[in-house]
Structure 1
Amino acid sequence: MNDIVERFEVAFNQIHQHLKELNGYPKNDNFVELLQHSKLKHSVIRVYFDKLKQYAKLRNAIVHERIDEEYYIATPHTDVVEELERIKRTLDQPPKALDFATRPVLFFKSDTPLSHIIEAFHKHPVSQFPIYRDKHDFIGLLTNDCVVNWMSRTMDNGSVRIESVVAEDILDDAHPNVQFLKAERTVYDLEERFEDSLENNQKLKAVILTESGEPDDLPMGIVTTWDLIKVDRRNRDES
């Protein structure tokens, strides 16, 4: 077999295998259909979608339209093969979810005064803080929206008394959708969480990354839908 054709087929088949894995090994494993479905969930695939679709046409010409065993109606250029191999390496070693997380994570205890949390919202460019009881028992995500909503409900004659209010008091009325993920997992796993929540009509506010992937562990990073924009931007810059 022509060496350049062999390299192309090896890289293409390995990418095909990645697409099967990303889609849970469906019965219909047509490359283009897997590509189309993966594009909806994963930014890496979205970035390379057009190229991979064209490479699929080239692959069909190589495999199905060759004149004999050693004569191909189409042969890929070296730069095409090198690009396909580069895409394959990206899929082999996708970025870690932690690469796109906000770090370090500022969090508070359940008995932290609301005045202290409001001050923290003013000082730090974040819109939510995880709240824990003793021994890192996660009880909720306190967002700036939660604070505003609580204030609007408790306002009396244009003023709000917050002297004795603590974080847990506000969490009683607000439960933003939060999920947890092992910090070592990939950006694919991260994107999957947000996509699944969208399909289930459940707005996922954030994914908190911990060493164990469990809620009762210290937060190592936090990812919001805004952070997912960084995923697309980085992948496009590297494409």
Structure 2
Amino acid sequence: MNKKQGPLLSERFEVAYNQVHDALRDIVQINDDRFVVLVKVGAKKYQIIETYKKDLEQYARLRNAIVHEKMEVGFYIAEPNAKVVSHIEKIANVFSRPNYALSIATKHVVYFDYHDSILEVTAAIKEHGYSKFPIYKNKQCVGLLTAGSIVKWMAQNMESGLVNLSDIHVWDIMNYQKELLIEIVPKEINIFEVENIFEKAHKKKRKLEGVIITENGKTDEVPLGIITAWDLIEIDYTVD
């Protein structure tokens, strides 16, 4: 290596490739250690890996051509171009950072008490445009109230095209709607773990309405963020 020029492109490529490989092991966590298998399995579970699946498969072939035909330590038979090296280094950076789930969560969480007036909820829907609200009873999170449930309740209780909400409370709707599945998790949880939570619920044919993030994952803590399945779908992992 020429110290003035810095590491060769091939060396940079190999370092970044190994960083991606290590990250894939940590994320996918299967018994098969092969790079291409980790990519294939991981892409079915995680959006971040699916985003780069084709690139990573190509880089695996390129890595084999470069490294397996290396004549000696530090001597490569070919050099990848600078654009390829820059891209895999960016991917390595994306894969290696913590990716805390709170980074994609709706952070300004509006929540209500079991005894609050439903008019407070409808006012929040109008002001914030939210459709799901954590509900607390005796300072414990007991579930989610959705805008859809409020609409259904109104449809069932309408008279002559009108419905009076002045004496209706959160608990009236909560008792009416079916129980909604939620998970409460600590703020240290990462995106991959949240994706796993949604995936496990899906496999059990249970619809998970949301993952609520609190300081330590306890039901008596205020929500710091909330994640729905749509939040996972809309993650933008592009690096260009």
Return the TM-score normalized by structure 1.
0.85
* Equivalent position of 2:82 in the other structure: 78
Residue matched to 2:102: 98
1:113 corresponds to which residue? 117
Match of 1:146 in 2: 149
Aligned residue among 20, 24, 27 for 1:15: 20
Q: Which runs of no fewer than 5 residues in structure 1 stay unpaired?
A: none
Mean CA deviation greater in 8-17 or 210-219: 8-17
Are the counterparts in 2 of residues 58 and 74 from structure 1 also a CA contact under 8 Å?
no
Deviation string 1:136-158 (CA, Å, 9 cap, x unpaired) is 30111000111122233444565
Distance 2:43 2:169 in 1: 44
Q: After the TM superposition, which residues 168-187 of structure 1 pair with which residues of structure 2 at under 5 Å, given as runs?
A: 168-174=171-177, 175-187=179-191
Match runs of 1:19-30 below 5 Å: 19-24=24-29, 26-30=30-34
Q: Distance in 2 between matches of 1:202 and 1:9?
A: 42
* CA drift at 1:87: 1.4
Q: TM-score if structure 2 supplies the norm length?
A: 0.85
Aligned residues: 233
C-alpha separation in 1, matches of 2:32 and 2:100 = 29
Q: Which ranges in structure 2 are unaligned for 5 or more consecutive residues?
A: 2-6
Find the aligned partners of 2:148 and 2:117 in 1 and give their Cα distance: 17
Does structure 2 retain, via aligned residues, the 8 Å contact 1:110–1:132?
A: yes
Tell me, yes or no, if the aligned pair for 1:94 and 1:188 is still in contact at 8 Å: no
- Aligned-pair CA distance for 1:51: 1.5
Q: Provide the rounded CA distance (Å) in 2 between the counterparts of 1:153 and 1:125.
A: 23
Question: Given residue 129 of structure 1, which amino acid in structure 2 is its aligned partner?
Answer: F
Q: Deviations over 1:20-79 (max 9, x none)?
A: 11122x22222112112212232322222221111100111123344x336644332233
Aligned to 2:39: 35
Identity score, percent: 37
CA deviations 1:148-194 (Å, max 9, x no partner) are 22233444565545443311222123322111222232222232322
Q: What is the alpha-carbon distance in structure 1 between the residues aligned to residue 150 and residue 206 of structure 2? A: 21
Amino acid at match of 1:191: E
The aligned counterpart of 2:210 is: 206
Given that residues 118 and 168 in structure 2 are in contact (C-alpha distance below 8 angstroms), is that contact kept between their aligned partners in structure 1? yes
Aligned with residue 137 of structure 1, among 140, 143, 146:
140
Distance 1:147 1:139 in 2: 17
SS at match of 1:140: strand
Distance between the aligned counterparts of 1:32 and 1:129, measured in 2? 41
Note the C-alpha offset of 1:222: 1.2
* Structure number with higher helix proportion: 1
- Aligned counterpart, 2:4: none
Aligned: 1:224 with 2:198: no
